[in-house]
Amino acid sequence: MNTNTNKVLIIAALLVMSSLLFGAIVALLIIGVLITLHEFGHWIVARRAGIEVPIFSVGFGPADKARVLGRFSGTEFQLRTFPLGGFVAPESASYQRASFAARAFTIAAGPLINLFIAILLFFVLFAGYGVPRADRIKDVYVSGLSESIAIAGQNGVERGDILLSVNGAPIESGQQLTETLEENRLKPVRLTLKRGDEQKTVEVVPNADGKIGIQMAYHLQRTVEQVSLPDAAFYAVVQTTGLIKSTLSGYGDLVSGKHLDQLSSIVGIVAQGGKEVDTGLVEAVNFTAMLSIALAILNALPLPGLDGGQLLLLAFEKWRGRPLSPVVQGKLVAAVIVLFIALTLFALYNDFVWLLGAFWATPAFVVSCCAIIYLLLPLFKRK
């Protein structure tokens, strides 16, 4: 087999894979664009405030391997090895000379631009398509499986299954199924499920608390209301505000230890985003807007290393009259990095359980951790 034939086969394989994974690839690109726009918010405000920014990098990786895309307004724009993410690097002396307000607005600009993007996306969607209205429950589906109560999973129930009936009675709400399970503690219950185009019936026996280890959610039957441009702007702000509240509530649950088995890493986000993108334009816009809001709220958390933490340290510096020492700041940032690495690894394992099942989750997790360490090793090599 000659070299040209090999090239043709490789290109064909890549085309097939890209067509199969189109949604996931688009979702990954969306994440990269949102992070880049976040950093652009920091950059544009810094330059308007007179703060020098020598480097704007799309992605992370060794500086000596960076590809220079161009230079503008005193900034070198780079593309680095790992393009998911990015950073801006203000010149230290220039940043310290700037006023308190200029530095605060520079830090806050990243999350603010992500919120603006969400509002803009919802406005365009509502103005061009209309405002989706949830009229009634279309169906009830399994949104998650409990690790502590494995009754459903052991009897063939999978995440994403649509729940059609229980003991022959059509399921119209999650409450109805919950009540039926509680009425049949330690008794066999027949569940009819829909998975793709197939239907199947499984038998489960609820435990003494009437639970089988599933979380439920709804698919809603929606209609679309056409609105004026001012109304579209109003509803875009309302929708964004509602998602901010629900995101904050989710973080509150995380801190209190609730729903930890539903925590997702970028693998799960990309997988779910791929499904949204494949579903249609409206779902893709919703996914992008919700992700932009999540990115804004995450960065606004008052933790060192994040924008919210930087604002907190800046306020402390204003009150104290001088900043914390670089050593103390470095230790605080390192602690947060360790926390995020631990949460990311935990979320990654959750994603593998969801995508591959409990049996294959552990080996896939171990292989992925080894691959991540191998890819990141060059970042820690001394020059």
d(CA 143, CA 152): 12
Looking at the structure, tell me whether residues 355 and 334 fall in a common domain: yes
Residue 125 domain flag: yes
If asked whether residues 107 and 253 sit together in one domain, one would say yes
- What is the per-residue pLDDT across 136-158, written as a single tens digit (0 to 9) for each? 778 889 888 887 788 888 888 88
Q: How many residues does the chain have?
A: 383
Contact between 152 and 204 under an 8 Å Cβ cutoff? The reply is yes
**Do both 109 and 251 map to the same domain?**
yes
The chain-wide mean pLDDT, for the chain, equals 81
- So what's the pLDDT on residue 286? 84
Give the domain-ending residue among 225, 240, 270: 225
Model confidence pLDDT, tens digit, residues 153-195: 888 888 889 999 988 888 888 888 888 989 998 899 999 999 8
Cβ burial of 72 (10 Å; 0-12, 13-18, 19+) is exposed
Helix (H, G, I), strand (E, B) or coil at 21: coil
Q: Is residue 275 part of a domain?
A: yes
Looking at the fold, whether 149 and 263 belong to one and the same domain comes out as: no
pLDDT at 109: 93
User: CA 229 to CA 371: how far, in whole Å?
Assistant: 49
pLDDT over 60 at 17, yes or no: no
Q: How many domains does the chain have?
A: 2
Top pLDDT among 103 and 246 is at 103
Cβ atoms of 297 and 37 closer than 8 Å: no
Query: Do the domain assignments include residue 204?
Result: yes
Where helices occur in 129-279 by DSSP H, the ranges are: 151-154, 174-183, 229-256, 266-279
CA distance 75 to 66: 14
Structural domain of residue 326, as residue ranges?
Answer: 100-130+227-383
Side-by-side strand order, sheet with 55-60: 67-72, 75-79, 55-60, 82-89
pLDDT at 175: 85
Residues 188 and 240 in one domain: no
What tens digit of pLDDT does each residue of 225-244 get?
Answer: 889 999 999 999 999 998 89
- What confidence score (pLDDT) does residue 117 get? 95
**Do 216 and 177 form a contact (C-beta atoms < 8 A)?**
yes
Measured N-to-C along each axis, helices 281-300 and 307-320 cross at an angle, to the nearest 10 degrees, of 30
Query: Are residues 363 and 234 part of one domain?
Result: yes
Q: What is the DSSP letter of 381?
A: S
Task: Count the Cβ atoms, other than its own, within 10 Å of residue 182.
Answer: 12
Domain boundary among 202, 225, 248: 225
Please tell me whether residues 252 and 346 are part of one structural domain.
Answer: yes
For position 154, which CATH number holds? Answer: 2.30.42.10
- Residue 379's identity, in one-letter code, is L
Show the tokens assigned to 283. 């779902």
Amino acid type, 367: V
| Confidence class for position 357, pLDDT limits 50, 70, 90 | confident
Claim to verify: residue 138 and residue 109 sit in the same structural domain:
no
- pLDDT number for residue 21: 56
pTM beyond 0.95: the answer is no
Write the single-letter amino acid at 299. Answer: N
**Backbone angles phi and psi of 327, in degrees to 5:** -65, -45
| Claim to verify: residue 168 and residue 217 sit in the same structural domain | yes
pLDDT (average), residues 83-101:
84
**Domain-embedded: residue 2:** no
Q: How many CB atoms lie within 10 A of CB 99?
A: 10
Contact in structure between 250 and 347 (CB atoms under 8 Å): no
Instruction: Report, as an integer, the average pLDDT of 287-311.
Output: 87
Assess whether 291 and 171 both reside in one domain.
Answer: no
Residues 194 and 236 in one domain: no
CA 292 to chain CA centroid, Å, is 9
- List pLDDT tens digits, range 194-220: 988 889 999 999 998 888 888 888 887
Which among 192, 225, 258 is the end of a domain?
A: 225
- Can you tell me the mean pLDDT for 52-58? 90
Q: Cβ(222)–Cβ(134) under 8 Å?
A: yes
Residues 154 and 280 in one domain: no
Residue 221 dihedral angles phi and psi, to the nearest 5°: -85, 115
Token representation of residue 13: 């394989």
52 domain residue, yes or no:
no
Say if CB 209 and CB 185 are below 8 A apart. yes
Q: Is residue 5 part of a domain?
A: no
Q: Is residue 13 part of a domain?
A: no
The pLDDT value given to residue 375: 65
- 142 inside domain: yes
